[in-house]
A and B are shown apart, each in its own frame.
Chain A
């Protein structure tokens, strides 16, 4: 039975789910916007369906590492007619629904992307083992691994859209713009190409490279950049400003040492 839902709004979205009698959905604490009065709301440690305290603690801990809450809120329709529950996105951006069954049963997302889904969806850790991708890829070493067979709603700031990659097809992506990918996609970083471009080009030192086969979801405006734009704090990109900072530190240390002997 496929989950019935509709996504409302254009840039400040929420998703409204219709739960059949007895059906259950899970959401991040604080994401619930409204629900019909026959829907029961319960908090669970972990993903909501582990047995045993140890398993729940472990699942909760993994969730909190991936930018989610330690707890999950579980919404169950206790009435005999279909009822609604809605989850709202926490920042300007898009909500998209991914059917895990057709996506191969597994999806890797950026930290904090999971908004809600059908019961049984697990939020796990996807640890990026390639050092350079973890350090310079813009998503960090820890990402979310969503597994299960139901529908999940993921949210990212900016405009979020899927991009299909054929086997061997490769694209370069600005670091931080990767929102989600299928595990069959290879994710790495590449040096931007020349010192001039990295200092003056404004794209930073590295670009993420994504190689098919599989689908990736890209976001147009990572939340850090959105925050910088809204607070008026200019975000320094590229290596130029950092290089100067580094040189100043070395200079100060050398001067201190020279002054003492």
Chain B
């Protein structure tokens, strides 16, 4: 007969229980201990429960004289022995109790698995974040993109005077239309009275050129270079990618840190100064230059403008030119562009636009504002 160690609990025994040995014989539970009579309890009178600090103890209890008596078994090997030798009417209950004990281990394995899986997911998302955001950005409906662009445009109109009238704005629109033949976007071209040397693209096909840019460019080819670059930000949905990128990381942070209010502040702040990553800028350069060649505009304008701006930046020092904050014109980048310009096969003709009169007209408009 197989005995297992346990503790006996009863009304006149110490709370910690008394060491005892128990076994099943002839459909009854036998409990033996030192200096006391054996207890014999028929299996039908027993009830099975799971107890202990972490539900790792099997308890068999019965009623006698209005009091609860119990034996507890905490050794896992003893559980197996009890399961193997229990009478038929008890084994079902014992098996159920046993699986309850295992439930905790399975539960913690699941929790750890989910945490590890989530960490892996974040890692993969970080590693492949550009591919994921590009994929997601391609799935944003055109109407949504246009809607976001409109919102940003109305914000801009609060701060600056924008126009589609006049020779300068029409020159921008003229070159832009040549560059965007066959695009799915309905482009709109604006001239802003901002004197900073800058230009930017909003989602949905809105391109804004600052008056400062018109002043800085030496000829129409250079303006075309800037436009080709900005058009590529629209075509490749770079702004949307950046928004999704920021929002995605904010969501991950919110889940990990559990702090929603701080994250919201970060998102709002980031939306206020969206910047395209260097990689996206380089992509816009390359594709912009190809688009220039396709449209028959000399791609050298883009290179000469960047080179000039970089020289200017060096002379000024300090904060420098705003365009170069978001479009870092490093020497490497200019060298890459020159190399690409040399390989492009282009039946190009310089733009025949009277640039001096356009600059004069733009200055006149700035003064009138």
CA distance A190 to B15 in the complex (A): 24
Known contacts A249-B260, A252-B261; is A213 also within 8 Å of B54 by CB? no
CA distance A213 to B73 in the complex (A): 12
Known contacts A129-B54, A183-B53, A253-B261; is A168 also within 8 Å of B68 by CB? yes
Q: Which stretch, A40-48, A64-72, A101-109, A231-239, touches the partner chain B?
A: A101-109
**Contact: B16 with A214, CB < 8 Å?**
yes
**Contact: B68 with A167, CB < 8 Å?**
yes
Quick check: is B72 within 8 A (CB to CB) of the other chain? yes
Query: How many residues of B are in contact with the other chain, CB < 8 A?
Result: 34
Specify the chain A residue showing the minimal Cβ separation from B49.
A168
Known contacts A249-B260, A253-B260; is A129 also within 8 Å of B17 by CB? no
B243-279 interface code vs A (CB 8 A; 1 in, 0 out): 0000000000000000011001000100100000000
A interface, size bucket: 20 to 34
**Contact: B264 with A253, CB < 8 Å?**
yes
**B binding-site residues for A, Cβ under 8 Å:** 7, 9-11, 14-17, 51-55, 57, 59, 61, 67-70, 72, 74, 104-105, 107-108, 111, 147, 151, 260-261, 264, 268, 271
Quick check: is A155 within 8 A (CB to CB) of the other chain? no
21 A-B pairs (CB sep. < 8 Å): A104-B7, A131-B111, A164-B15, A184-B53, A184-B57, A185-B52, A185-B53, A186-B51, A187-B53, A212-B9, A213-B72, A214-B16, A215-B15, A215-B16, A249-B260, A253-B261, A256-B268, A260-B268, A260-B271, A261-B147, A261-B151
**Contact: A129 with B108, CB < 8 Å?**
yes
**Contact: A166 with B9, CB < 8 Å?**
yes
Quick check: is A182 within 8 A (CB to CB) of the other chain? yes
Inter-chain contacts of A211 with B (CB < 8 A): 51
**Other-chain contact of A252, B52, B70, B107, B264 (Cβ < 8 Å):** B264
Inter-chain contacts of B104 with A (CB < 8 A): 129-130
Quick check: is A165 within 8 A (CB to CB) of the other chain? yes
**Other-chain contact of A181, B11, B53, B61 (Cβ < 8 Å):** B53
Inter-chain contacts of B151 with A (CB < 8 A): 261
CA distance A54 to B14 in the complex (A): 39
Inter-chain contacts of B108 with A (CB < 8 A): 129
A181-216 interface code vs B (CB 8 A; 1 in, 0 out): 111111100000000000000000000000111110
A152-195 interface code vs B (CB 8 A; 1 in, 0 out): 00000000000011111100000000000111111100000000
**Contact: A184 with B7, CB < 8 Å?**
yes
A17-38 interface code vs B (CB 8 A; 1 in, 0 out): 0000000000000000000000
Inter-chain contacts of A86 with B (CB < 8 A): none
Inter-chain contacts of A186 with B (CB < 8 A): 51-53, 55
B81 CB, nearest partner CB in chain A, Å: 20
**A binding-site residues for B, Cβ under 8 Å:** 102-104, 108, 126-131, 164-169, 181-187, 211-215, 249, 252-253, 256, 260-261
Q: A129-B107, A168-B68 are in contact. List 16 more A-B contacts (CB 8 A).
A: A104-B7, A126-B53, A129-B54, A129-B55, A129-B105, A129-B108, A130-B54, A167-B9, A168-B70, A183-B52, A184-B17, A184-B72, A185-B52, A212-B15, A213-B72, A261-B151
Inter-chain contacts of B264 with A (CB < 8 A): 252-253, 256
Inter-chain contacts of A102 with B (CB < 8 A): 14, 16
A251 CB, nearest partner CB in chain B, Å: 11
B103 CB, nearest partner CB in chain A, Å: 10
Inter-chain contacts of B15 with A (CB < 8 A): 164-166, 182, 212-215
**Contact: A213 with B53, CB < 8 Å?**
no
**Contact: A166 with B17, CB < 8 Å?**
no
**Other-chain contact of B11, A104, A108, A166, A215 (Cβ < 8 Å):** A166
CA distance A260 to B53 in the complex (A): 51
A257 CB, nearest partner CB in chain B, Å: 8
A149 CB, nearest partner CB in chain B, Å: 14
CA distance A169 to B9 in the complex (A): 12
CA distance A184 to B147 in the complex (A): 65
CA distance A183 to B264 in the complex (A): 46
Specify the chain B residue showing the minimal Cβ separation from A183.
B53
Specify the chain A residue showing the minimal Cβ separation from B103.
A129
**Contact: A249 with B68, CB < 8 Å?**
no
**Contact: A167 with B70, CB < 8 Å?**
yes
CA distance A129 to B55 in the complex (A): 9
Inter-chain contacts of B105 with A (CB < 8 A): 129
**Contact: A167 with B59, CB < 8 Å?**
yes
Specify the chain B residue showing the minimal Cβ separation from A163.
B15
A134 CB, nearest partner CB in chain B, Å: 10
Inter-chain contacts of A212 with B (CB < 8 A): 9, 15
CA distance A90 to B260 in the complex (A): 38
Inter-chain contacts of B271 with A (CB < 8 A): 260
Known contacts A102-B16, A213-B17; is A130 also within 8 Å of B52 by CB? no
**Contact: B107 with A249, CB < 8 Å?**
no
